[in-house]
A and B are shown apart, each in its own frame.
Chain A
Amino acid sequence: MLRLPPFRYHRPATVAQAIEVMGEHAGDAMFVAGGTDLIPNMKHRLFEPGHLVALKGIEELRGVRIDDGHLRIGAAETISHVASNPEVLNRFPALADAAGHIAGPQLRNSGTIGGNLCLDTRCTYYNQTAFWREALGYCLKKDGDVCHVIRVGKKCVAAHSADTPPVLMTLDAVATLVGPDGQRSVPVRDFFVADGIVNSRRAPDEIVTELRIPLASAERKQAYAKLRVRKSIDFPLLTVAIAADLDGDGTVRSIEGVVTALGSRPHVLTGWGDVAVGRRLDDQVVDELAERAHKQCHPLENMIVDHEWRRAMVPVYVRRALEKLGAA
């Protein structure tokens, strides 16, 4: 079995305490919630913090409730709870669908929705043991100076591989972050940056405390589709999240599609409004939307599964998600 590097484990009772502990060990500490991403990464020596600050025991990070026109999900709620929560299931079925597609049951029982938002980017040259990476000669994201995917330049293209953020984006979800300088709100749409090394705007000493989804978003038709080889466990090879406001006769008022597991952040498909607004989602429109998506999506060889196939699956999965949405 792979060994963990030694670290000290802190169990603060409140967010304020967690931030204080983090401050005491600045630069040598990381937050951990479910640990399903961080712990394997530590075993691979991708992170070797001297201190882990646990968030899962903090009561104020728990709970799913309706308040002030929003569904508020505590960031330390497990993926299982999110997937099975009646409010989520009724109002935001695409979110429940995406959460239910994460990993396998045991990992969903441990992993959290906040952790899924903060999932480290993944790459075939990165998510490997210390021995393997030494034999490789390391990579740009960790310990090296070459990207083996694109082989030129200094840009890390490790893939954003989380299932729920694309859905959260289409639902206009907002993340609450708390740090030493106080609290701020960041729309999930703006949470990510195009840098595979660190792909979010969250500072290392900030905690995602909550996700808020406007109840108005529940009026949207939603769909989620995930491409993977196995029916469980696998990270996405491609995900498509779509939400649309439709008139009573099916005419599109607005539509948004987000695709991920391609580059370092989820990609908001552009030009969809131009195609679909004012029209119904008939075969013609669906094909045009799929074609737009296909043109915009260029999977890289950052995963071991054939990138040309992944690209070819973009329009297929967009079409299937749209069909699901139409049937919803």
Chain B
Amino acid sequence: MSNNGRKIKSDWNLIGTPMRKVEGLDKSTGRALYTDDLVFPGMLHGKILRSPHPHARIVSIDTSSAEALDGVHGVVTGQDMPTTYGIIPWTPDEYPLCVDRVRYVGDGVAAVAAVDEDTALRALELIEVEYEELPAFFDPFEALEADGSTPYVHEPKKADWNGNVTKKVHLEFGEVDELMDGSDAVVEGEYFFEGSTHTAIEPHCAIGLWQAGGGFQRQDGESSGKLTVWSATQVPHYLHRELARVLEVDQAHVRVLQPLVGGAFGGKSEPFDLEFCVAKLSMITGRPVKILYTREEVFYAHRGRHPFHMKYRTGATAAGKLTSVDAEIVLDGGAYASFGLVTTYYAGQLLCAPYEMPAYRFDSTRVYTNKPACGPKRGHGSVQPRFAFEVQIDKLSERLDLDPIEFRRLNFIGSNTRTINELRVTSNGFMECLESVERESAWKDRFRKLPFGCGLGVAGSTYITGTNYPIYPNDMPQSGVQMQVDRSGRVAVFSGASEIGQGCDSMVAYIAAEELGVPLDYVRVLRGDTDFTPVDLGAYSSRVTFMVGNAAIDAARKLRGMVQEAVAEEWDVKPGEVLLAGGLALWAPDTERQMHVKEAFNLAEAKFGTLGSTGSYNTPKDVHGEYRGATIGASPAYSFTAHVAEVEVDVETGIVDVKKIWVAHDCGRALNPVLVEGQMEGSAYMGFGEALMEEQVFKDAEHGRAGLHDAPSLLDYRIPTSLDTPELQSLIVESIDPEGPYGAKEAGEGPLHPSIPAIANAIYDAVGVRMDRLPFSPPNVWRALEAAREADTLRKPILNPGAGAPTSTPELVPGD
């Protein structure tokens, strides 16, 4: 049911009501501590020397002058950490600092620790690096055609392979060609999604502290020390593992702490050079070392959205049922693999809902180029194909004279079903999402009926609620939570979840308060420290509410059971009749019988001893097929979204004014509707920014120097200001997932997807011009408008429902 922001009747006291974020006051008053706020006695400041070349062999590095500079305490180069790493265990292709080759402008070569930043910067100038420049690859198609006559971006794993290819995936489900041939209408389109980056407000920052000796033993028995790293990361657990492996320190002697993080969006979801450098420099100098990226370095670290070159063929029957989908995708990966193996799969795997596809084939290839590495950005790997596909559907609907919302309804895949690629779908509120945006936007009265220049567009999408499998294969839980209560009534929650602004600390606090009946301010969340919080795999793939939430419920209910039992014994009633709510223990049949929850906890402690519990969550394993790659894209639950965007196109300038986006999202259950709406609006905003202005692009040989970032600053890499941002209306849909905590699914990434195709489709409704390439920036739209003027096609499209669909042989619409 849709609550549209109103409180719905609920079995819960707190869950489903608007609540504060537990760290909200600290953040709004400036008290909150981020990594760069931390200062330690004797702390040194580090800087990283970066390659000015897109592709070059390192001939020699001379650091002697830098080391001799007054105030410099340590210098490291790639030779000091000659172990490769990579977030995906099968593609470790990065060194903390380049050892023999640099692969993009900005690749790290050496690092310095000095008494202050200025001294460290002067030291960088004294490091002499001799490079032998190599031919470089910037265009993914040229990289694909490389024959090895010049060095590939990476050495091929086998002699006859193209070292520029990270991963190729080809998967086929059903009778693609037969069904395509038998379709009444086939639409063919070519799309390009430009790369974009995350622009989290906090640049990456890390502090390393090595404490030598202390009886800590290395695995090889040699006396060693203890390494502590504070980092603005989304993945403390994976960082913990990689620091230990690369720096050869026993994992038990490595501690990773995650202070509050000022946004991440996928841009901090793997180890980065600075984390290894602060650790190594501290091991060398014996002092704490901090490195804070400049904004420019954040653009080089990147790991943002891959540029996607996409070709789609989509077939349907005259009645508007999808028949077959055929996709060919080339991903421009940049210099390193990052999450690229997963991205290559996600590019195809995540398209198979919310519409039923009788047949589907995709061919997806990720290519290395000499540019900053691409990786996961909010809606990892699926935002780009979703853009293309939802525009394809718009084109098909028009060809079949069907309302595009009606077309989507006709193809709804349903709940409790399997997709063509065998992913299990449970709860599915997509139809309610469509209905909400249709109603709220007054779609039926306005689609194809607004004046020329004004338009409405619709799009839908789905997204995972966490990946079903961890990045490194293991059977342990994905998430763990530990809880204890003390004699004051205070509940301490030890949570490994990564608070990156999305509200996961609050989420576990709400659950503890709900289950144990304490006021919210009785809950203290202790978090982000691998020494004392249970493992959670990280804040990525929209997994945290579902997985950590279930773990928190597990832990809390174990404690609650003990408290109920102790109180029941005291009152001589059944444990199931004891309620914990509102700071009280109450007897359900007569709530006049009650005691303060603190007394209840004390009774339980007297009965059971010190009170604590652990809870964990692991995913169900029967939610995907058996073919190679079947597990990638598998998730315990899927969220669903529909958007309607309203635009006004200035036909003289190409400036698109997005006036409003209606965002309907099935999040399962909104544990706190305020935070859900925040995620929905933030997602729609981010998609809108990518749609209209964001471009992570590079100079070419005719413009300065090939491979040089076009504009690594927030002045020139434009993201929308508040004045540019459209009105956003959030419409929460609650399908109550059978396995989610209280029925919750994700809300952090799914609601981004439809923004972009909804805007593209709205532009078409406004002026009859298809925008198949991102971004829809004023110059790009102006060029499309000029072409339409030239071809005399610049006009309001006409809705002709019921005119009847073509029944003859399928007609390809090239360039449609």
Residues of A within 8 A of B (CB): 1-3, 6, 104, 124-125, 127-129, 131-132, 134-137, 148, 227, 229-235, 301, 304-306, 308-309, 312-313, 316
A230–B712 touching, CB < 8 Å: no
Which of B712-754 touch A at CB < 8 Å? 712-713, 715-716, 718, 720-724
A135–B708 touching, CB < 8 Å: yes
How long is the Cα–Cα vector from A104 to B713 in the complex, in angstroms? 16
B118–A3 touching, CB < 8 Å: yes
Residues of A within 8 A of B782 (CB): 309, 312
Q: Nearest Cβ distance between residue A144 and chain B, in whole angstroms?
A: 11
Knowing A233-B721, A304-B710, the reply to whether A136 touches B693 (Cβ < 8 A) is: no
Q: Nearest Cβ distance between residue B727 and chain A, in whole angstroms?
A: 14
A124–B711 touching, CB < 8 Å: yes
How long is the Cα–Cα vector from A232 to B718 in the complex, in angstroms? 11
Nearest residue, chain A, Cβ from B781: A309
* Given pairs A230-B721, A233-B715, 19 additional interface contacts (CB within 8 A): A3-B121, A6-B118, A104-B721, A124-B716, A127-B715, A128-B713, A132-B296, A135-B708, A136-B708, A230-B723, A231-B723, A232-B721, A234-B718, A304-B716, A305-B779, A308-B779, A309-B779, A313-B653, A316-B653
B815 on interface, CB distance cutoff 8 Å: no
Which of B550-605 touch A at CB < 8 Å? none
A316–B652 touching, CB < 8 Å: yes
Which of B680-733 touch A at CB < 8 Å? 693, 703-705, 708-713, 715-716, 718, 720-724
Top 7 closest pairs, chain A to chain B, by CB: A306-B779, A309-B779, A135-B52, A231-B723, A232-B721, A148-B704, A316-B652
How long is the Cα–Cα vector from A321 to B779 in the complex, in angstroms? 20
Residues of A within 8 A of B386 (CB): none
Q: Nearest Cβ distance between residue B761 and chain A, in whole angstroms?
A: 22
How long is the Cα–Cα vector from A8 to B704 in the complex, in angstroms? 35
**Which of A127, A128, A137 is packed against the most chain B CB atoms within 10 Å?**
A128
How long is the Cα–Cα vector from A234 to B693 in the complex, in angstroms? 13
Nearest residue, chain A, Cβ from B725: A231
Q: Nearest Cβ distance between residue B776 and chain A, in whole angstroms?
A: 12
Residues of A within 8 A of B645 (CB): none
A129–B296 touching, CB < 8 Å: yes
A135–B718 touching, CB < 8 Å: no
B708–A309 touching, CB < 8 Å: no
B712–A148 touching, CB < 8 Å: no
Q: Nearest Cβ distance between residue B130 and chain A, in whole angstroms?
A: 15
How long is the Cα–Cα vector from A12 to B151 in the complex, in angstroms? 60
**Which of A134, A306, A309, A313 is packed against the most chain B CB atoms within 10 Å?**
A309
Residues of A within 8 A of B720 (CB): 230
Q: Which of A132, A230, A312 contacts B708, CB < 8 Å?
A: A132
Provide the main secondary structure of the chain A interface: loop
Q: Nearest Cβ distance between residue B376 and chain A, in whole angstroms?
A: 26
* Contact pattern, B 369-406, Cβ under 8 Å of A = 1, otherwise 0: 00000000000000000000000000000000000000
Residues of A within 8 A of B292 (CB): 1
Nearest residue, chain B, Cβ from A232: B721
Knowing A131-B296, A230-B718, A231-B721, the reply to whether A136 touches B704 (Cβ < 8 A) is: yes
B715–A135 touching, CB < 8 Å: no
Residues of B within 8 A of A232 (CB): 721-724
A131–B117 touching, CB < 8 Å: no
Nearest residue, chain A, Cβ from B293: A1
B778 on interface, CB distance cutoff 8 Å: yes
Residues of B within 8 A of A (CB): 50, 52-53, 105, 117-118, 121, 203, 292, 294-296, 652-654, 693, 703-705, 708-713, 715-716, 718, 720-724, 777-779, 782-783
How long is the Cα–Cα vector from A3 to B122 in the complex, in angstroms? 11
**20 A-B residue contacts at CB 8 Å?**
A1-B294, A3-B117, A124-B716, A131-B50, A131-B52, A132-B712, A135-B105, A137-B705, A148-B704, A230-B720, A231-B721, A231-B723, A231-B724, A232-B723, A232-B724, A304-B716, A308-B779, A309-B782, A312-B782, A316-B652
Residues of B within 8 A of A305 (CB): 779
How long is the Cα–Cα vector from A117 to B121 in the complex, in angstroms? 34
How long is the Cα–Cα vector from A230 to B295 in the complex, in angstroms? 20
Q: Nearest Cβ distance between residue B801 and chain A, in whole angstroms?
A: 37
How long is the Cα–Cα vector from A137 to B724 in the complex, in angstroms? 36
Q: Nearest Cβ distance between residue B711 and chain A, in whole angstroms?
A: 6
Nearest residue, chain A, Cβ from B652: A316
Residues of A within 8 A of B294 (CB): 1-2, 129
Residues of B within 8 A of A233 (CB): 715, 721
How long is the Cα–Cα vector from A235 to B716 in the complex, in angstroms? 10
Q: Nearest Cβ distance between residue A38 and chain B, in whole angstroms?
A: 15
Q: Nearest Cβ distance between residue B297 and chain A, in whole angstroms?
A: 9
How long is the Cα–Cα vector from A137 to B704 in the complex, in angstroms? 8
Knowing A131-B50, A132-B708, A309-B654, the reply to whether A229 touches B778 (Cβ < 8 A) is: yes
Q: Nearest Cβ distance between residue B725 and chain A, in whole angstroms?
A: 10
A301–B703 touching, CB < 8 Å: yes
Q: Nearest Cβ distance between residue A63 and chain B, in whole angstroms?
A: 31
Residues of A within 8 A of B203 (CB): 1
How long is the Cα–Cα vector from A305 to B717 in the complex, in angstroms? 11
How long is the Cα–Cα vector from A213 to B53 in the complex, in angstroms? 51
How long is the Cα–Cα vector from A6 to B783 in the complex, in angstroms? 47
A304–B693 touching, CB < 8 Å: no
B121–A229 touching, CB < 8 Å: no
Residues of A within 8 A of B653 (CB): 227, 313, 316
Q: Nearest Cβ distance between residue B638 and chain A, in whole angstroms?
A: 35
A230–B724 touching, CB < 8 Å: yes
How long is the Cα–Cα vector from A133 to B294 in the complex, in angstroms? 16
How long is the Cα–Cα vector from A308 to B710 in the complex, in angstroms? 18
Q: Nearest Cβ distance between residue A102 and chain B, in whole angstroms?
A: 14
Residues of A within 8 A of B693 (CB): 229-230
A125–B783 touching, CB < 8 Å: no
Residues of B within 8 A of A136 (CB): 704-705, 708
Q: Nearest Cβ distance between residue B59 and chain A, in whole angstroms?
A: 18
Residues of B within 8 A of A132 (CB): 296, 708-709, 712
How long is the Cα–Cα vector from A2 to B118 in the complex, in angstroms? 10
How long is the Cα–Cα vector from A135 to B708 in the complex, in angstroms? 8
How long is the Cα–Cα vector from A147 to B75 in the complex, in angstroms? 36
A309–B783 touching, CB < 8 Å: yes
Nearest residue, chain A, Cβ from B709: A132
Q: Nearest Cβ distance between residue A307 and chain B, in whole angstroms?
A: 9
Residues of A within 8 A of B296 (CB): 2, 129, 131-132
Q: Which of B105, B703, B718 contacts A229, CB < 8 Å?
A: B718
Q: Nearest Cβ distance between residue A45 and chain B, in whole angstroms?
A: 10
Q: Which of A2, A131, A135, A309 contacts B53, CB < 8 Å?
A: A135
**Which of B105, B654, B713 is packed against the most chain A CB atoms within 10 Å?**
B713
Residues of B within 8 A of A2 (CB): 294-296
How long is the Cα–Cα vector from A234 to B705 in the complex, in angstroms? 25
How long is the Cα–Cα vector from A132 to B704 in the complex, in angstroms? 11
How long is the Cα–Cα vector from A305 to B712 in the complex, in angstroms? 15
Nearest residue, chain A, Cβ from B36: A1
How long is the Cα–Cα vector from A8 to B253 in the complex, in angstroms? 47
Residues of B within 8 A of A309 (CB): 654, 778-779, 782-783
How long is the Cα–Cα vector from A134 to B693 in the complex, in angstroms? 28
How long is the Cα–Cα vector from A298 to B391 in the complex, in angstroms? 36
